[in-house]
Every structure is written in C-alpha cells, then in structure tokens.
Amino acid sequence: MKNHLIILSIAIFLCVIVPVEGEDYDNYVKDYYLNENECPLQIVDWNAWYRTDDDITFGWSDAIASPKHGNAPSVKEAGFQYDIRIKHNGNVEILAFQVNVVVFSAFEEYLDTFGIFQGAILKPGKDITRKQKAIYNGDNQFLTFFLWVDKVRDIDGKLYFADLESIKESIEKKTGFDIPLDYLKTEYVLEINSNTRFKDRVYVDVY
C-alpha cells in the first residue's frame, strides 16, 4: 500500500509541474480563399508563418550536386514564408496565373498586398504546390490573409481577370474595413517557378 501511495504522489506531482503545451500565435492566423466559380483555378491550401532565424544548410546531396551544376546550397531565409496549393478545375491547359494576397495585422490594420506569379503548363485536373518562399522584410504582425486567383492565361490565349468589386465586398464583410479598390492591386509580384534565385549571389547578400 505504501508503494502505491508513493507512486500516486509522484504521478500527481508530475501532473502539476509538467506544463501543458498550448497553442501558438500561428494557430490563430486566419486564411480566406476568395475563389470565384468562373475561374478555372481554385486555391485549396495556404499556410504562412514568420521565420525569425536564417541559416545555410549544405547536406551531402548538395555537396555532390553543387560542384557539378554550380548550384548554391540550400538557404533558409529569415522573413515571411508561405506554402500555397492551386487546383486546376478547368478543361484547358493553363500557361500562367497570378494569385493576389491581401494581409491584415493582428489589430485589423491593412498591411500589404502582394502577388504570386506562376508561369508553367498546368494540365486540367492537376494541382501545383509551392513551399517556403520568402519575402524579404515581411511583416511579422500578420494575422489575416485574403487570397484569390487574380489573373489566368490559358494556352489558347484566353484571359481571366478576377472581379475586384466582388473581392472588395467579401473583404469588407469579413473585416469591416472599407478597403480602397487600389489596395487589391499588387505592389510587387513574386515569381514562384524560379529555382536558381541564389545561384549567382554571394551568400552574405541573401540576408
């Protein structure tokens, strides 16, 4: 009996001193996909975070490939990072598209608008995923994202443009913020199909 009491006491003690892992700030980030039925592309996944550290990773595979191909080692950048996945629900191959992202802070303040460009043949029924692209000087106060496919060009030359009035109305309903139409147009565009962005750069310039 005495041993049982000792074990029980230890268990109770551990329950008291062992902290329960709680949610982080990132768990409260909100993403709104403003997909339009008329658009052949749909946003199906988005994840964003802020990396506070940066480093250069140079594994054995990089060491083998780099001398042969002149590639720089893998770089993990400090700053705003994101993953995005797009699904092609249309019936014509897509040549290029652009996703626009509007960002609000934790205090419901407008932060920024940027675009994500992809130039590649995307076949009907397929999806495309891009991960961990960084925006230098990204703001770490972000909390709410609004995303939509802003422009599409198919292989036949047909163009699609999002209805910005409809996008504006959707954002205003969620935030109560009277967002000017010009805020839905990008200040800068990231190209997400570039795999050699560090190839010709000195590593200290990356930071």
Which pLDDT score is estimated for 168? 97
CA-to-CA distance for 180 and 143, rounded, in angstroms? 20
pLDDT reading at 85 higher than 80 = yes
Confidence of residue 201 (pLDDT cuts 50, 70, 90): very low
Which pLDDT score is estimated for 2? 54
| Cβ atoms 156, 95 nearer than 8 A | no
Exposure string (b/e) for 51-90, b if CB count within 10 Å is 16 or more? beeeeeeeeeeeeeeeeeeeebeebebbbbbbebebbbeb
Burial category of 152 from C-beta neighbours within 10 Å (exposed 0-12, middle 13-18, buried 19 and up): buried
Q: List the one residue out of 48, 198, 192 whose CA is nearest residue 122.
A: 192
Q: What is the reported pTM?
A: 0.72
Confidence of residue 146 (pLDDT cuts 50, 70, 90): very high
- Tens digit of each residue's pLDDT (9 = 90 or more) over 158-191: 999 999 999 999 999 999 999 999 999 987 787 7
Mean pLDDT for the stretch of residues 95-105: 93
- Tens digit of each residue's pLDDT (9 = 90 or more) over 4-16: 555 545 444 444 4
Domain-wise residue ranges, the chain: 24-206
| Cβ atoms 90, 40 nearer than 8 A | yes
